[in-house]
Amino acid sequence: MARASTSGETISISVVMVSWHSGPVLFESLNAALAAADVDEVILVNHGNPAVDVETLEALDTRETRLTLIHSGGNLGFSKGCNIGAKAARGTHLLFINPDAVLSPGTAQRMARTGAGLTMPWIVGARILDRDGHEQRGGRRGELSLASTFISFTGLSRLVPGWRDIHRENEPLPDRPAEMPCVSGAALMMSRAGFEQVGGFDERYFLHVEDVELCRRVRDAGGQVVFDPGAELVHYGSTSRASIFFVERHKFDGLIRYFWDYSGPLERVGVALAAPFVWLALMSRAALIARRR
């Protein structure tokens, strides 16, 4: 149900999820969102799941008046799925969460209240926890660049004073909402007006880096990107049945596209030279992960 924010604005919150072979945790994620008293509706964009899961989703959609199930007809990418879900949503606020993330009670309302005090267009990101309650990487990040990517991949931030890793989960937790260059798309809220102002997610980013790019556009538009340490959800991670090589390939595509989009002519020479090494690093990591599974 719609409710008033601290600014007196009447708000309603739509959770938007995009699923492609998400695994069993999808239903835990859906049930947590539907159980949240501060969530007015849940939009699930089904990019493709096993027939038995689709049957269960359709049964849940029939029972739950707050759930809207959209069959997209194929894997159209995370960004396009989010935009499809946002278009169907009726809320004044859009909360994008991963289908392997479980929303904590009160998190949606807290994020909306944090956003009420920010400059439009704004983004509020949550603290992403693993199953043991430890903060995962990605929830608060620095500026993405070729240099920061190199530092993060090589671990040089641990060796060279003054060289800061892009990931900030090991830094002291702020005691109040704090501005960050980037937060995670695993739990990202915007007002509908702000989302429409910046044009939503860039659909050229199929999977990965779309959240970084959206945060960049919000900041470039004069808005604020804020990490709220009191807004939490549990992110299972690695539950998708997608190949790790499929995931890392699209991460590579997203990184190179981002570097290219936000670089000048001279910097693009560096992007072109660095691309093979970024590819090698990502595929090597994918091979290591695949061997451990």
Joined together, the tokens standing for residue 108 give 């949606």
Predicted confidence at residue 286, as pLDDT, reads 86
Instruction: Give dist(CA 197, CA 187) in Å, integer.
Output: 20
Predicted confidence at residue 1, as pLDDT, reads 59
Q: How far is CA 266 from the centre of its chain?
A: 31
Predicted confidence at residue 238, as pLDDT, reads 62
Task: Please give the angle made by the CA atoms of 92, 95 and 97, to the nearest 5 degrees.
Answer: 160
pLDDT tens-digit profile of 160-171? Answer: 777 788 889 989
Instruction: Give dist(CA 122, CA 114) in Å, integer.
Output: 10
Residue 79 phi, psi dihedral angles, 5° rounding:
-60, -50
What type of residue is 79? S
Listed by start position, the domains of the chain span: 3-238, 243-293
Predicted confidence at residue 71, as pLDDT, reads 98
The model's pTM is 0.93
Predicted confidence at residue 181, as pLDDT, reads 97
Length of the chain: 293
Closest CA to 44 of 28, 67, 10: 67
Given a cut of 70, the residues of the chain with pLDDT beneath it are: 1-8, 238-242, 293
Instruction: Give dist(CA 46, CA 56) in Å, integer.
Output: 12
Predicted confidence at residue 165, as pLDDT, reads 82
pLDDT tens-digit profile of 260-277? Answer: 999 999 999 999 999 999
Predicted confidence at residue 8, as pLDDT, reads 66
Predicted confidence at residue 239, as pLDDT, reads 55
Predicted confidence at residue 166, as pLDDT, reads 87
DSSP assignment, residue 251?
H
Residue 50 phi, psi dihedral angles, 5° rounding:
-55, 150
pLDDT tens-digit profile of 21-73? Answer: 999 999 999 999 999 999 999 999 999 999 999 999 999 999 999 999 999 99
H helix intervals, the chain: 25-35, 51-63, 78-88, 107-116, 146-154, 192-198, 210-220, 244-261, 265-292
- Protein fold of 3-238: Spore Coat Polysaccharide Biosynthesis Protein SpsA; Chain A (3.90.550)
